Structure 1
């Protein structure tokens, strides 16, 4: 019977599945109590985390007995993967389990920002009638979606966009132009510069690594098509938010949806307050009731197989 420590929220039925075979500590607040987390980590043979638990430095050093780190999600920037490997710890992400949730968020944001008609509730309820101002929104069909990062989430997003009549082009630094996935999905392989200059909507699905840090700086945002929409559901530090705000205020960007930030929670940022055509959400694009079920049970199953 292994000791399993779960530091953030997980579907309780999946927790029960683990607890039926092993000794489980489940405390979604443990991530915020570092001294206790370190103490519990010293006894853990399995550590299960989301994105807030930083499996590096002191926490990684405390994992003297750990055999597996399960990640309730996809991104691994909060985990020192090479450090885990050096200690013989297997890192298991929930690859693909939240792809549908993220893809739906991207498509919903795309439609809202292109149409621009969903910000008038307060005005209409207050007796105003901004029909002329809001009557020149854009349809989704016929627009070009540029997908940067063409893994499971990027591919799911592309399929949904195609179903709405969008054209899709994609760039992935790890894929060759003749990769079979482009033929299978009917998506045009593009260079990064071509995608940025031609897409009506650009959506980011890349990990945070040295090559993607600061990827969308002021220069790349300026190179986007006038009126284009930018969506980031990948990681903070990839997009320069002050540059996004400036481009929205100038009218160069037609809209932006940002779900991830350099620091989370996002500190109060006056540059983002009252910014036009901006949707902000607290890192929830991959978190729905259904996605949490899929992620939790996938990790529970993989952990149980790893311990068998």
Structure 2
């Protein structure tokens, strides 16, 4: 049996008119460009920030995409923010309480980069306050499991055909490097 119109379930659902949304894209590379181009093809007004965009990536990007001046500018303009950035010392906690506060009330955040680029505690607080409407990622965690407007999908980045082909050589190289490091460390501490 379906809940009555105006019931509790209907209040948690929200319809989006795709053409009226302003997606923001943070991050370089082929995936970020493909996401931006797909959004533009749907009639969305795409805005992006990428301080290290290559000329080749720029040529592939839809000419309708606008450039944000900074990450703060990007998050303040986006209705839907997608992240496509690597995790390193400069990008850790890129999306934190301060940047979540800059986002439009009711915005959606999609993180398919790495878990650490988003401060999960700050995201949970923004979800609980209602400022952030939805958080979607592929990094399930106990904190997100209790959030009704968080969608955590399994991470399947290594499940692509390309990943299946390159994974054996990557692991072989990784093991060889680890073995060399371990044996040289053992030699340096072994009594002679």
Shorter-chain TM-score: which interval?
0.7 to 0.9
Aligned residues: 164
Runs of at least 5 residues in structure 2 that lack an aligned partner in the other structure: 171-192
Query: Which of 83, 86, 89 lines up with 1:207 in the alignment?
Result: 86
Match of 1:129 in 2: 3
Partner residue of 2:149? Answer: 277
Helix, strand or coil at the partner of 1:242: helix
Does the aligned pair in 2 maintain the 1:147–1:203 contact within 8 Å? Answer: yes
194 and 128 in structure 1: CA distance in 2 versus 1, 3 angstrom threshold: same
Per-residue CA deviations over 1:160-186 (Å, capped at 9, x if unaligned) read: 21222212111112138xx56445422
Is 2:30–2:57's contact at 8 Å kept on the other side of the alignment?
no
Contiguous gaps of at least 5 residues in structure 1: 1-126, 303-308
- For residue 25 of structure 2, the aligned residue among 147, 150, 175 is 147
SS state at 2:115 partner = coil
Q: 2:132 aligns with which of 245, 250, 253?
A: 253
1:240 is the counterpart of 2:116:
no
CA offset digits 1:81-118 (Å, max 9, x no partner): xxxxxxxxxxxxxxxxxxxxxxxxxxxxxxxxxxxxxx
Backbone CA RMSD of aligned residues = 2.6
Normalising by structure 2, what TM-score? 0.74
The alignment's TM-score, normalised by the length of structure 1, stands at 0.48
Q: CA deviation at 1:301?
A: 9.4
The structure with the greater share of residues assigned to helix is 2
CA positional deviation for 1:287: 5.0
Runs of 4+ in 1 over 3 A off after TM superposition: 179-184, 297-302
1:51-130 alignment, distance < 5 Å: 127-130=1-4
Structure showing greater relative contact order (alpha-carbon pairs closer than 8 Å, 6 or more residues apart)? 1
For residues 244-278 of structure 1, the C-alpha deviation after alignment (integer angstroms, 9 at most, x for no partner) is 111111110111102137xxxx4x33xx3432321
Query: 1 CA distance for matches of 2:29 and 2:4?
Result: 41
Aligned to 1:175: 53
